[in-house]
Amino acid sequence: MLLNGSMVNHVLTPIFQYTGIFKLIWPEQPIGALQFMTTKSLLAFAHQDPRSGLNLWTLEYDSITLFIFAILSLMLSWILTKYRGKPYAKPAYFVISVIGAILVAFSVSYMTSIEHCSGATWVGFVALYGMGFSEFELFPLYQWICAVTGLIALAWSLTAIKRATMHL
């Protein structure tokens, strides 16, 4: 929203567009049909241009992304309950775990932007396009770097909090 300068004004459920294809695939390949549906967006937040009716940008969530977001939420809530009100808890533990969760969430989030691409792509690419970078390879290295860095930060903060609680 910040990079594109417009707020959410339209919420979509794109998965329902694929129910016909799902019904066709299901009798012959049920696993393939389920795999097909897990890659489709369950929910999309968009900014729709009132004049043209086009979605200028969308932030989309598929089942895998929502599953990862749910795990991150559970981890952060556990960290928050361990952190809150404890004399041993250093603020750095909580801050690092939040940064780690943001990096992991950023690495699995994707969106569309009508100005830069016709289909859904990863948020990092659209952010780079929004900042004026247009001549670069669409290589998912930033996703791996964000995911690994975020997971390391989460693992470190979890072990640090667990270690601190064991010494009490």
pLDDT in tens, the chain (168 residues): 666 567 888 888 888 888 888 888 899 988 988 888 888 888 888 888 888 887 777 888 888 889 999 999 998 888 888 777 666 667 788 888 999 999 998 888 877 776 555 555 666 666 666 555 565 555 567 788 888 999 999 999 888 877 776 655
How far apart, in Å, are the Cα atoms of 133 and each of 4, 56, 57, 62?
A: 14, 19, 18, 27
Cβ pair 151, 163 in contact under 8 A: no
CB atoms within 10 A of CB 111: 22
DSSP states of the chain as a string?
A: -TTTT----EEE-GGGGGHHHHHHHTTT-HHHHHHHHHTSEEEEEEEE-TTT--EEEEEEEEHHHHHHHHHHHHHHHHHHHHHTT-TT--HHHHHHHHHHHHHHHHHH-EEEETTT-SS-EEHHHHHHHHTT--SS---THHHHHHHHHHHHHHHHHHHHHHHHHHT-
Cβ pair 100, 150 in contact under 8 A: yes
**73 CA to centre of own chain:** 12
Pairwise CA distance, residues 39 & 167, whole Å: 44
Q: Identity (one letter) of the amino acid at 15?
A: I
pTM (2 decimals)?
0.72
